[in-house]
Amino acid sequence: MRLMPCLFLPAVALIAQAPVGADLAQRFNAELPVVTQMLKELKAPEALARVQGIIPAERPAFNSAGPKEIGQSLDNMAGLISLYRLSANVTSENGLWEKAVEIQERRLRDAKATLSDLEKAQAPIAAQWKKVAQDATDYTTKNAPRQQELTATLKALQDEVAAVNAKQKKLEAKEMTELQARLAKFPQEQAELDQINAALPVHKQNLANAPKVAKMLADNRREVETMIKTAEEALEKARKAVADQKDEITGFNTEQVLKKVKIAGNRNWVEAVLRNTENITKLGGPQQQAAFLNRLLFLDPSNAGALKALDNLKAGKEPFPKEAKPAKKSASKKK
């Protein structure tokens, strides 16, 4: 018979340490090594109880007060997603595949809700920076040439006045009148140049910052979209494992009915799995074997063979140790 693989989720790793306020990321980082060690020690029920106590009942509110707060909210959500992933993994190792599906559904639902919150939070920031960039472009386009023009004009005027005062240049009456007219405009033109000199660097900096802000907003969105994609994939995998196993049991039981075998729920299928011990031993190490035995016990809680195999694993033995055959008695020598 074909054996359904156990519902194992990808291994989880520590997420990047989040800033102050992203307590769920810190909580995940603190709990991961503890829970992982419990699973290695085949303490799946204890690990499940611990995980169930660290996941918040509700998704934390999304703080959209500013870019810093948005970043902290995203870090917090990353922590929550990691906790969901860990919880689904532990739940699966306890044999509760259907419950793991529910956790993956909640994970996906919260990830999608976070994207909605993020879009609302970033929309005014994006609109503001779009206007800032346009204003900066308009101002720079208009005033950068004007800055060069005023700088050259005022420099030429100052040089000419200096030359006249030093008697290096002699002006006719008409030229003197024109110079005085230009000098009359000097304060206004200098004030205009001073204003441009002060404002232009700000607008140029805004032009330089606008793409950085756009990238930050895009990166934020991409981060949440990745959360959603991985959650969708995990949910699909979890659902498929449950559905495939259900189909296998149904098909097996149907064959048994045709053979006039009495069916007792999932028990016939579980017994058939256990009769071929390689269905368990080929899964890998004790942790993987125990996880699948937990699944068999979920399907058939009172199965003595699965209970005994799991007890053997917890005792540090093989799940199905070979019993030593009694030694043959040697024939008595005739005297």
Neighbours of 297 (CB within 10 A): 18
Considering the domain delimited by 23-122+220-238, tell me its CATH architecture. Answer: Alpha Horseshoe (1.25)
Average pLDDT of the segment spanning 223-238: 98
Across 7-33, average pLDDT:
62
- Whole-number pLDDT of residue 331: 52
In this predicted structure, the answer to whether residue 297 has a pLDDT above a threshold of 70 is: yes
The confidence score (pLDDT) of residue 7 equals 35
pTM (predicted TM-score): 0.81
Q: Write out 16-54 in H/E/C secondary structure.
A: CCCCCCCHHHHHHHHHHHHHHHHHHCCCHHHHHHHHHCC
- Across the chain, mean pLDDT equals 88
Confidence of residue 330 (pLDDT cuts 50, 70, 90): low
Mean pLDDT of 22-27: 84
